[in-house]
Amino acid sequence: MGDPLYAHGIDLAVVLITILKVLLTFVFLLVGVLLYIWWERKFISDLQNRIGPDRAGPYGILQSLADGIKVFFKEDLLPAEADRRIYRLAPYLAAVPAFTAFAIIPIGDKISIAGHQTYLQLANPPIGILFLLAMSSIAVYGVFLAGWSSGSKYPLLGSVRASAQMISYEAAMSIAIASVVLITGSLTTRDIWVHQRTWNWNLWQLGVVPFLIYLVAATAEVNRPPFDLVEAEQELVGGYMTEYAGVRFALYYLAEFMNTITVSAVAVTLFLGGPSGPHISFLAPLWPVVWFFLKLFVFVSAYVWLRATLPRLRYDQLMDLGWKRLIPLALYWLLLVAALRIGDDANWPWGANHSALNAVTIVACVAGAGLVYFGTLGAAIRVGNRRAQEEAEGAGGVRV
């Protein structure tokens, strides 16, 4: 189901409408980042009984704009040992994927522009989910190349640690997204939204677990607290962007908040019905956009709440959570969803006329697979802890 804008060929009007959609999407993300930074400062200040920004504009709403203007006048540094081309390219490899990933998010239904019908969505490729995963993978290069090209050991160490964190949690996030693809049978984000239009959200179709896995993995993927170890000043001299200043530093700052908005929009689309909501006949085409932005606002506010509430994890705890908990659990749930989907396609006896057998079968599958999973995981953790204990004792160390 492609965009109807291109159904009758491409002419000058179609090209101009496409350019307009690109500009509007870009402007929305930039304004969204400025407002999000302001909202994060205000929300945290309220939680901590402070005032927050209150000088630039009403309620300090222009503070982010003032900071953005200031950074353009700061000196742009170029270390003597840096790889010039890669050093200059790396910030764009971090910022551009966040914008392009948002391009496949549907924020509403069809609209008419100059007699042409088009979706309230920049692009609807038939492999939208694969495109989303590809963009999240490219962002890792922007982080790693920033540290490598700086010509200093400390940014390199910070980029290695940041890249390891992003790759680790990208695996769990991708498996959770694969569960959505299995249940909906489509790789396009618009089809996934249409599948959930009648309040049949993937959140409860998939049993909530993939949503929680995605939420935790996405938080670590975009380096948001409590997983912001790339900015752990008490553990590193500096992160991967230590040698950056001026506009290039601002691009990394912009990419972090833009990624937060993007992963929140992806969560709304994949699990919470996207722009769907209560039908209201008055100004009907406008309400899907309203529902989408209300859900998005809840998500980005939850990230601010987590930042103000939870302490930062240690790096070993971060890796244990990703590799020993989230990835095995996501794989287990994906296999369970696949088994249930195969059963539906093969007309196994667990439909409406076999509700009791349906319940017993699902509970038995979940309980049996869960026992195997948690038993194996527990044994692996015990073996790892025992080996660590033996190594510590052998080295004459004291285990705390």
104-111 mean pLDDT: 87
329-335 mean pLDDT: 88
Q: What contacts 74, CB < 8 A, 6 or more positions away?
A: 245, 246, 247
Q: What pLDDT sits at residue 283?
A: 76
Cα 105 to Cα 132: distance, rounded to the nearest angstrom = 10
Domain map (residue ranges) of the chain: 69-312
Q: Percentage of residues in the chain with pLDDT exceeding 70?
A: 84
Say yes or no to pLDDT of 142 above 80. Answer: yes
The tokens of 90 are what? 């790396």
Q: What pLDDT sits at residue 158?
A: 82
DSSP state of 108: S
Which comes out higher in pLDDT, residue 348 or 8? Answer: 8
Q: What pLDDT sits at residue 353?
A: 45
Read out DSSP for 292-342?
HHHHHHHHHHHHHHHHHHPPPPPHHHHHIIIIIIIHHHHHHHHHHHHHHHH
Which comes out higher in pLDDT, residue 397 or 231? Answer: 231
The chain-wide mean pLDDT, for the chain, equals 82
* Prior bond of 125 cis (ω within 30°): no
Q: What contacts 247, CB < 8 A, 6 or more positions away?
A: 71, 72, 74, 76
Q: What pLDDT sits at residue 399?
A: 43
Which comes out higher in pLDDT, residue 363 or 258? Answer: 258
Cα 275 to Cα 399: distance, rounded to the nearest angstrom = 52
Q: What pLDDT sits at residue 388?
A: 63
Q: What pLDDT sits at residue 141?
A: 87
Write the pLDDT tens digit of every residue in 185-241.
889 999 899 888 888 888 888 888 899 999 999 998 888 888 887 766 555 566 788
139-160 mean pLDDT: 86
Instruction: Provide the pLDDT confidence category of residue 298 given band limits of 50, 70 and 90.
Output: very high
273-298 mean pLDDT: 85
Q: What pLDDT sits at residue 301?
A: 92
Instruction: Provide the pLDDT confidence category of residue 352 given band limits of 50, 70 and 90.
Output: very low
Say yes or no to pLDDT of 266 above 90. Answer: yes
Say yes or no to pLDDT of 126 above 70. Answer: yes
Cα 294 to Cα 125: distance, rounded to the nearest angstrom = 25
Q: What pLDDT sits at residue 344?
A: 74
Cα 389 to Cα 18: distance, rounded to the nearest angstrom = 61
Say yes or no to pLDDT of 395 above 60. Answer: no
Which comes out higher in pLDDT, residue 387 or 8? Answer: 8
Say yes or no to pLDDT of 267 above 90. Answer: yes
Of 1-5, 187-191, 215-219, 360-364, least confident by mean pLDDT is 360-364
Label residue 50 left, alpha or beta by phi (over 0 means left) and psi (-120 to 50 means alpha).
beta
Q: What pLDDT sits at residue 400?
A: 40
Cα 287 to Cα 265: distance, rounded to the nearest angstrom = 17
Q: What contacts 279, CB < 8 A, 6 or more positions away?
A: 287
The tokens of 188 are what? 């396009």
Is 218 in contact with 173 (CB distance < 8 Å)?
A: yes
CB atoms within 10 A of CB 292: 25
